[in-house]
Structure 1
Amino acid sequence: MLGLTAATHIYLYRGRCDMRKSFDGLCGIIRSELGADPLSGSLFVFVNRRRSMVKLLYWDRDGLALWYKRLERGCFILPERWTEDGLIERRDLTMLLEGIVPKKVGKRYKIGI
């Protein structure tokens, strides 16, 4: 079961991923290119060149789990903003998977005013 909490780090791999890669190949990308540990409990997102397929890799308490989605039409819209190390927010992942294209996404309130 894919359970995301506020403490879950979500990394989006910026490069184009070969979707034939499975657990070991994706773990190699995570360690070498993202500089992260695949067993850390973080969620790692990979997209192919045409952006018609997405894979999510995460540690699920006792083993690695792989989630895969292929679109029959269209493509996934990647978030416009992410940090230097590839971190994205939960809402960005949700919008990517649901196909939502936001015109403007912001908080309903401002902190510190």
Structure 2
Amino acid sequence: MRRTGVDSGQRDSAATSGVFDRAFASGDDRSYWRGNAMMMLSTAVKVYIAAEPIDMRKSIDSLSMLVRPMFDQDALSGHVFVFYGRRRDKIKVLVYDRTGFWLMYKRFESGSLADPAAIARRGISLAELTTWLEGIDVGVRRRVHAVNATVVA
């Protein structure tokens, strides 16, 4: 987060709103945001994982242009599109939310993602994506299948 005028004891106008004030009160710019910044996604959102690695230097515009040829989907659909690098230690997640694109980037400090190509072939839920992004191999667990009930008795 960028602050201006910090040395003179003044903050820029964006930093004077309530959320930012709590962040600056502790003296650590990142203290408030650690674990608190999130984006809400519906369970109806589908997750698409690239079947092959991409050049991780690509930005929002380049990745959104890859969505149609790689996933046969519209980048503006609101679904989650996951891209990973050759060494599988970096991942980018692209989402559109009616006002613009989100691009989330994660670099694993040690280790790498469990076989993204295999997960792309079988599909992954939003809950499994969260687990996978924590470095847990979701391919070794058996998924409980959804029940299509029409009557409660």
TM-score range, shorter chain: 0.7 to 0.9
Aligned residue number for residue 6 of structure 1: 43
Matches within 5 A, 1:91-110: 91-102=127-138, 103-107=140-144
Give the secondary structure class of the aligned counterpart of 1:11: strand
Indicate the larger mover: 45-54 or 74-83: 74-83
Q: CA deviation at 1:92?
A: 2.5
Report how far residue 111 of structure 1 moved: 4.8
Structure of higher RCO (CA pairs closer than 8 Å, 6+ residues apart): 1
Deviation, structure 1 residue 81 = 4.2
Aligned length: 109
Match status 1:66 vs 2:134: no
Larger Rg: 2
CA contact (8 A) 2:90 2:106 kept: yes
Q: List alignment gaps of at least 5 residues for structure 1.
A: none
Tell me the C-alpha RMSD between the 2 structures: 2.3
Contact 2:46/2:79 (<8 A) preserved = yes
- Rounded to whole Å, the distance in 1 between the matches of 2:83 and 2:60 is 12
The structure where helix makes up a greater share of residues is 2
TM norm structure 2 = 0.62
Greater per-residue strand proportion: 1
Of residues 66, 79, 99 in structure 2, which corresponds to 1:42?
A: 79
**SS of equivalent residue, structure 2 residue 128:** helix
Unaligned runs of 5+ in 2: 1-37, 149-153
Q: Does 1:30 align with 2:67?
A: yes
CA contact (8 A) 2:51 2:120 kept: no
Measured in 1, the distance between the counterparts of 2:146 and 2:79 equals 28
